[in-house]
């Protein structure tokens, strides 16, 4: 995405067997990467006008990116690097997230339950090993 190889506006392009999607936003510069799981997950946004320099990480819930709540500090240096770091950040800001989710008819508890399910599934998916034909 950083190299601009995806010319996909306004359509979503599935990546990694449909586990993630990318779309170029209407400004034709910013790329959005969505990891969907029952309408929740994380959204990675490369902000304009300097795409590729920073990545912002936002919750993705009920089909919308919650831009009022940012997981990273806007740079690659500060973004959470492990699942545990993401969960820690979410729990530390549970009240702010609850207010942002409630505005969309959801709740922090529902989001976290789905987020943990997403993390467990991705751990399983990424650890799966294909076994060859046994003769």
Please check whether residue 29 is in contact with residue 51, taking contact to mean a CB–CB distance below 8 angstroms.
yes
Q: pTM (2 decimals)?
A: 0.67
Tell me the pLDDT band of 92, cut-offs 50, 70 and 90. Answer: very high
Please give the Cα distance from 68 to 96 (Å, whole number).
9
Please give the Cα distance from 124 to 121 (Å, whole number).
5
Name 45's bridge partners: 32, 56
- Which secondary-structure segment (H or E) carries 34? strand 31-34
Q: Residue 5: inside a domain, yes or no?
A: no
List the domain range (segments joined by +) for residue 88.
13-127
Tell me the pLDDT band of 108, cut-offs 50, 70 and 90. Answer: very high
Q: Residue 7: inside a domain, yes or no?
A: no
Tell me the pLDDT band of 119, cut-offs 50, 70 and 90. Answer: confident
Q: Residue 4: inside a domain, yes or no?
A: no
pLDDT tens-digit series, residues 39-71: 667 878 776 666 556 778 888 888 788 888 888
Please give the Cα distance from 55 to 77 (Å, whole number).
10
Q: Residue 135: inside a domain, yes or no?
A: no
- Number of domains, the chain: 1
Q: Residue 1: inside a domain, yes or no?
A: no
């Amino acid at each position: 995405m950083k190299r601009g190889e995806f010319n996909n506006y306004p359509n979503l392009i599935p990546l990694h067997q449909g586990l993630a999607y990318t779309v170029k936003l209407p400004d034709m510069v910013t790329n959005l990467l969505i990891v969907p799981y029952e309408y929740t997950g994380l959204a990675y946004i490369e902000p304009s006008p300097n795409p590729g320099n920073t990545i912002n990480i936002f919750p993705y819930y009920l089909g919308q990116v919650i831009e009022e709540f940012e997981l990273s500090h806007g740079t690659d240096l500060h973004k959470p690097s492990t699942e545990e770091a993401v969960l820690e950040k979410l729990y530390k800001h549970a009240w702010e997230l609850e207010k942002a989710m409630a505005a969309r008819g959801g709740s922090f508890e529902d989001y976290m339950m789905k987020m943990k399910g997403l993390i467990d599934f991705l751990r399983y998916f990424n650890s799966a090993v294909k076994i060859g034909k046994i003769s």
